[in-house]
Amino acid sequence: MIERLTSQAIQLLKQLIETPSFSSEEEQTAHHIEGWFKQQGIPFTRTHHNVWATNKYFDESKPTLLLNSHHDTVKPNNGYTKDPF
């Protein structure tokens, strides 16, 4: 099971890395994340380009840990020697 989850995570990350997602232009990566949650059967919420899910064992009466990330990138500059995507 760990191998399958690892493979799925790597595939998702590859898709996200391959997708241009400059600041304020994250529609495509938000769509990828949303699709991944749907495929996994994970309930999620999306507002604009923000996508988040809550663990199925979430309990408001217990301490909470928030994991936060962003999926936008900075536009490449002239110093790049390869296409970053």
- The pTM (predicted TM-score) of the whole model is 0.81
Instruction: Give the pair of three-digit tokens for residue 51.
Output: 């996508």
pLDDT in tens, 36-63: 999 999 999 999 999 999 998 999 999 9
Condensed to tens digits (0 to 9), the pLDDT of residues 9-39 reads 999 999 999 999 998 999 999 999 999 999 9
Helix, strand, coil shares of the chain, percent, nearest 5, are: 35, 10, 50
Rounded Cα distance, 83 and 65, in Å: 37
Query: What is the chain's length?
Result: 85
